Amino acid sequence: MPFSNSHMKSGPAPVVRLGDLTVHRIGLGAMRLTGSVPFGGVPSERGQAIRVLRRAVELGVNHIDTAAFYFSATRSANELINSALAPYPEDLVITTKVWPDRDPSGAWWWADPEQLRGQVEQNLRQLGRDHLDVVNLRVPPSRRDGSIAEHFGALAELREAGLIRQLGVSNVTDRQLIEALAIAPVVCVQNPYGVGAAPAEQQALLRRCGELGIAFVPFAAIAGPRTATGTAGTAAGHDEALRAVAGAHGASVAQVRLAWTLHQGPHVLAIPGTGNPEHLAENLAAGQLRLSDTELASLS
């Protein structure tokens, strides 16, 4: 299915298709509303988190990325989304992910294929929905070289049962994407990608998604690549180039990161997370930032 580069008057950027769903290219990641999982952080004040969600929709955001395991001792992303936005706008697309989960103490565990239905139903209850718009199968690091057929097949059955509208995959290799496509349609790939973190393998997968009509959705596009200790950062050369491009446009480094992401192809989306209303507006404004070929080359 071809991608549209046309502008929607109410949207902050051009649009992309997720199967039969249409979303603006800049959405909102809900993780930071509860504190940055799993790297620590301070949850947004509840009232402010709800205001950010409502303001995002007012500004044209119609794609929110969440997960049942986005929670802290006092905040649940899904519950905040439900409280802020239900009854949901007809064009709002809520994307979630399954396979990983956390118990009430915060400890991580990974679901067996037969446990995925319980994870899907948990998201349905928390969001107050009778079906989920898009569910990504988030592949654990330990399975990066393994088969995902059994787990993805279980989600495909839930799609056939009407609990899920569209399917995506996350943290996958090219081979795993092809494996999933042999089972059921895939509308998006959610993988780590950003300035200073765009290895050849991910660049090839990004191009493959464009060829197949699949949206590519980088996560951590603003935070940048993470070291083995989980701290964000880029090489000194990238930091200098980012500051130079930002200065030339009167923009922030975060805005340049987002603009660079969107310049990677018309099928590329962004889901920056924030619990700050000012940062929300800045993130959406990044969709209008146009970088030259020379600037793009300096960041690549």
pLDDT on residue 244? 96
Identify the helix (H) or strand (E) that includes residue 246: helix 236-249
What average pLDDT does the segment 103-129 reach? 96
pLDDT on residue 144? 87
Per residue in 140-167, pLDDT (tens digit) is 999 988 999 999 999 999 999 999 999 9
pLDDT on residue 7? 30
263, 248, 259, 266: which is closest to 285 by C-alpha? 259
Q: Give residue for tokens 């620590």.
A: 40
- Is 50 exceeded by the pLDDT of residue 4? no
Output the pTM of the full model: 0.90
- Is 70 exceeded by the pLDDT of residue 132? yes
Peptide bond into 14 cis (omega under 30): no
- Is 50 exceeded by the pLDDT of residue 46? yes
Strands 108-110 and 100-102, by their bridges, are antiparallel
CA distance 73 to 40: 12
Alpha helices of 98-234 — where are they, by DSSP H? 116-127, 149-160, 174-181, 200-212
- Is 90 exceeded by the pLDDT of residue 40? no
Q: Give residue for tokens 């340049």.
A: 256
Band of the pLDDT at 14, cuts 50, 70, 90? confident
248, 236, 250: which is closest to 296 by C-alpha? 248
Q: Give residue for tokens 């930032």.
A: 289
Write the DSSP assignment of 31-85 as a string of letters. GGGS--TTT---PPPHHHHHHHHHHHHHTT--EEE--TT-B-SS-BHHHHHHHHH
What average pLDDT does the segment 222-241 reach? 56
- Token pair belonging to 78: 């899904």
Roughly what angle, to the nearest 10 degrees, separates helices 277-285 and 46-58? 30
CA 91 to chain centre: 17
- Classify residue 249 by burial, with Cβ atoms within 10 Å: 0-12, 13-18, 19+: middle
What average pLDDT does the segment 282-291 reach? 95
- Name the least confident of 37-41, 77-81, 220-224: 37-41
Residue positions annotated with a catalytic role: 70
pLDDT on residue 147? 98
- Domains of the chain with bracketed CATH: 15-299 (3.20.20.100)
CA distance 291 to 183: 39
What are the residues whose beta carbons fall under 8 Å from the beta carbon of 239, sequence distance 6 or more?
A: none
- Is 80 exceeded by the pLDDT of residue 76? yes
